[in-house]
Every structure is written in structure tokens, then in C-alpha cells.
Amino acid sequence: MIKHMRIDNRLIHGQVAAVWSNYISADAIVVCNDKVAADPIQKMALPLAARGHKILVMTIAELVEYNNTNPSETLFVIAKFPTDALEILEQIEKVEFVNVGNAAPITGTEYKMVTKSIAATKEDAVVYRQIAQKLGGKLTTRMVPNNDEEDFLKLLTKAGF
């Protein structure tokens, strides 16, 4: 069962390894992105960033299968992009919580900064709204668990999306 999904294109870093993982207390942290899962260097390096935690690096299809065959295991899923998160939500019925974390600007895209740590394009904004629809119209962001949640859809609108 996916206990928490964080959209964060930095994948595993200090906030995820030290703060979020302890707050969520999931059985495993799953990095989910098809290209990352196909990269042997990232598959080897990512578990080193969160020593002491069970780390899995999977494609979306692998995550769906793993979730279905291990229903009692609680998962903290890190989706690299909003498109990854949407695809996961389209294939897995129960995801307890989704948080928009970090989205560093991608060179060559026409992005706007939605927060100081989240860049988005027009296409991203459409996907974020589709994610919110899957979650009953709500999508939040917060950097770390002790920060207050912010309404991410309002932040998108404020940024001009």
C-alpha cells in the first residue's frame, strides 16, 4: 500500500532520507521513474543516499506489480515527475497521501517558479490538476513534515497557471 507519494525530481536527498522517511515510517522507500530504473548507476547509487532504509528503484509497471503482490507492505514512493505520479494514481487505487516536494527547473523548458523550490511548465500544471482530481480536488505541498501544508492548486493559480 502506498502510504505516501512525494513528487520530487531530486529523488533521494537529505530531506527524504532523514526527515520524510522517519515521519512516514514506511517499510520501503520506492524511487519510481522508468528512466531512473533503467540506469544501473542510479539503481546502485540511490540506496546509498538513504542507508538504513529499504530502497527500491522501480519502473511504474514494477511498482504496480510490487504493490499488488505485497499489499501489507507500506511504501513511501518518490515520483520523479508529476507525470509519473499521475500514471501511478491511474493504476493504483489506494494512495493515502500525495505531496508536491521539489521540482528543480529543467533547462530548455518554459517554466515559472510556483514556490522557491518548485518550478512548473504549463504542461506540468495540467498534470498537477489531473492529480488533484484523482485525489478529490486537493493537492498540497510542504517541504518537510513540520511545515504547514499549502494548497498547491492555489499556488499554481497565483503563478499564472
Q: What is the CA radius of gyration of the chain?
A: 15
Given a cut of 90, whether residue 90 has pLDDT beyond it is: yes
pTM listed for this prediction: 0.94
Per the CATH hierarchy, to which homologous superfamily does domain 2-103+137-150 belong? Phosphotransferase system, sorbose subfamily IIB component (3.40.35.10)
Look at residue 17 in the predicted model and tell me its pLDDT: 80
Per-residue confidence at 72, pLDDT binned at 50, 70, 90?
very high
Look at residue 78 in the predicted model and tell me its pLDDT: 97
Asked if 74 and 116 touch (Cβ cutoff 8 Å), the reply is: no
Domain ranges of the chain: 2-103+137-150
Look at residue 51 in the predicted model and tell me its pLDDT: 82
| Residues 17-55 pLDDT 10s | 888 988 999 999 999 999 999 999 999 999 888 888 899
Per-residue confidence at 130, pLDDT binned at 50, 70, 90?
very high
Looking at every residue in the chain, the average pLDDT score rounds to: 95
